[in-house]
Structures are given as structure tokens and as C-alpha cells.
Amino acid sequence: MDIYDPWANPEEVRHEYGISSYNKLPDTKYDAVILAMGHKTFESLTLEAIKKENSVVYDVKAVLPKELLDG
């Protein structure tokens, strides 16, 4: 599991929550992507660059255009 938040300070996240996070998107493809923040940065996110062919995308904040999502 990787947590990407370009606005969060990784040291503060580790101190407060005991988890690791990244300010730069890891060069990895994922089985599942959960978009849980509404940052403008995520509006331009290229899902094809980070998701595997048969992956699931869950957009909690409804940031992404509907045509990019299943269902």
C-alpha cells in the first residue's frame, strides 16, 4: 500500500499516524486506486499511468470525470 499526498509532510504523517506517505507519485501500477482527497492536483491525474489493466478505482470525493470511471 502506498499513500500519495502532494500536500502532506511525510515526517508529520509518520509521526501523527504511524504510516508512510509520498509527496511524489511512486512509479508503480496498482490493483486498486482510492482517491480520498479533493486536491486540484488529482484532477489532472493520469489513471492509466498508475493502474493495472484490471484494476478498481474508487473516487471518494468525485474529483475525476465520470467517463474515466466504471459504472
pLDDT of residue 70: 64
Structural contact between residues 10 and 17, judged by C-beta atoms closer than 8 angstroms: no
pLDDT in tens, 5-57: 989 999 999 999 999 999 998 899 999 999 888 877 777 788 888 999 999 98
How far is 9 from 63, CA to CA, in rounded Å?
22
Going from N- to C-terminal start, the domains of the chain cover 10-68
- Answer positive or negative: Cα dihedral of 64, 68, 69, 71: positive
Q: What is the pLDDT of residues 40-49, one digit of tens each?
A: 777 778 888 8
CB 22 within 8 A of CB 3: yes
The pTM of the whole model exceeds 0.95 = no
